[in-house]
Amino acid sequence: MKVHRYVIDLEWTGNTGQGTRSLSAYERSHRISAGAKPPIAGSSDPSFRGDPRCWNPEELLVASVSACHELWYLGLCADAGVIVHGYTDQPEGIMVEEAGGAGQFQSVTLRPQVVIAASSDAVLAAALHERAHAMCFIARSVNFPVSIEPSITSAIASG
């Protein structure tokens, strides 16, 4: 078994000079970085006093599930001889907040739109979504259902 470690730096950047004197005294902004990679400006969801211009943890979780599936899918297609020309997704995560403020995700739905070469097997391309889902590290790690609603379109063969 291989073990992979992922270490990031998270720095709270929202101290307005008063620290956390009150809920309205500080901003929810933070910076996420790792090595030489460009930093990600983060905040909480706007409904939790966050900056709507920044990524929030909930969006990053949904993006992680989507990106993990995409990367597995493309690799599996390459191995199976399915030529993918385009891949987009508009995933949606559903989170519920309880009266006391705690909450959890109920589900994430991926909606990948895949364009394959006219010569590629559309049935196999669709089936590879199941395999990608079974392999995705992120989907395997969360405690809520992740469903996939793929659309496979064959490119028109050029004459």
> How confident is the model over 78-119, as pLDDT tens digits?
999 999 999 999 999 999 999 998 999 999 999 999 999 999
Q: How many domains does the chain divide into?
A: 2
Check whether residue 63 and residue 42 sit in a common domain. no
Q: Can you give the pLDDT at residue 158?
A: 58
> CATH number of the domain that 108 lies in?
3.30.300.20
Q: Are residues 44 and 65 in the same domain?
A: no
Query: Do 91 and 149 have their domain in common?
Result: yes
pLDDT at res. 70: 96
Taken in order 19, 98, 49, 53, the sign of the CA dihedral is positive
Domain of residue 140, residue span: 58-154
Residue 43 included in any domain: yes
Give the span between the Cα atoms of 51 and 72, in whole angstroms.
Answer: 32
Q: 131-145 pLDDT, tens per residue?
A: 999 999 999 999 999
Q: What pTM was estimated for this model as a whole?
A: 0.89
Instruction: Mark whether 105 and 137 lie in a shared domain.
Output: yes
Residue 36 lies in a domain: yes
21 with 80, same domain: the answer is: no
Instruction: Extract the tokens encoding 152.
Output: 């496979």
Share of the chain above pLDDT 90, in %: 91
- The answer to whether residue 3 is domain-embedded is no
